[in-house]
A = this chain, B = another copy of it.
Amino acid sequence: MEIREAADADWAQIWPFFRGIVAAGETFTYPRDIGEEAARAMWMKRPPGRTFVAVDERGTVLGTGESHPNQAGPGSHVANGSFMVDPAHGGRGVGRALAEHVIEACRADGYRAMQFNAVVETNTHAVRLWQRVGFDILATVPGAFHHADGRYVGLHVMYRAL
């Protein structure tokens, strides 16, 4: 597995699993019926944002991550990031490798910390992964995520210094 900057041509491999993950309505605060152009514009970042892909030796995109300033101006020294792993390639450490790569990239880019605003509390796989790579739960916003199963569940604000 290699992790590298995403190229425009990678989008065609990202979109099928991106669409499926968002449509499931369990983990992302994006419109479940998001259109491809809106998704591409949001995910394929322009500087200072960056987008990464994890690819195998055959060039198959296994997962993707992105980083960008969490706030503008006087808040732009804290990075935000998002990550998706193709469910067809789960359980192989792709998420962890992407996370560690993006953390290092954010440190190299000069950010002082990373913050996630909206980690769904029932997405325990992701919560544990972020904790393993050094993130703490600062707060849980009660009921802030309307899960596909009908429940209103919390969104964790997670943080780690760099």
Interface, chain A (partner B; CB < 8 A): 22, 25, 28-32, 34, 70-78, 112-113, 115, 117-118, 138-148, 152, 155, 157, 159, 161
Is B146 a contact partner of A74 (Cβ separation < 8 A)? yes
Cβ-neighbour of A77 out of B112, B146, B157 (below 8 A)? B146
Contacts of A22 in B (CB 8 A): 73
Do B74 and A145 touch across chains, with their CB atoms under 8 A apart?
yes
Stoichiometry, copies per complex: 2
Candidates B31, B76, B140, B144; contact of A72 at CB < 8 Å: B31
**Contacts A138-B141, A139-B139, A159-B141: A72 and B112 contacting too (C-beta < 8 A)?**
no
Q: Which residues of B contact A78 (CB under 8 A)?
A: 141, 144
Chain B's closest residue to A28 (CB) is: B73
Known A157-B139, A157-B157; contact A25-B115, beta-carbon cutoff 8 A: no
9 contacts between A and B (CB under 8 A): A29-B76, A71-B117, A74-B146, A112-B143, A113-B142, A138-B140, A138-B157, A139-B157, A141-B159
B144–A29 CB distance below 8 A: no
CA distance A19 to B31 in the complex (A): 33
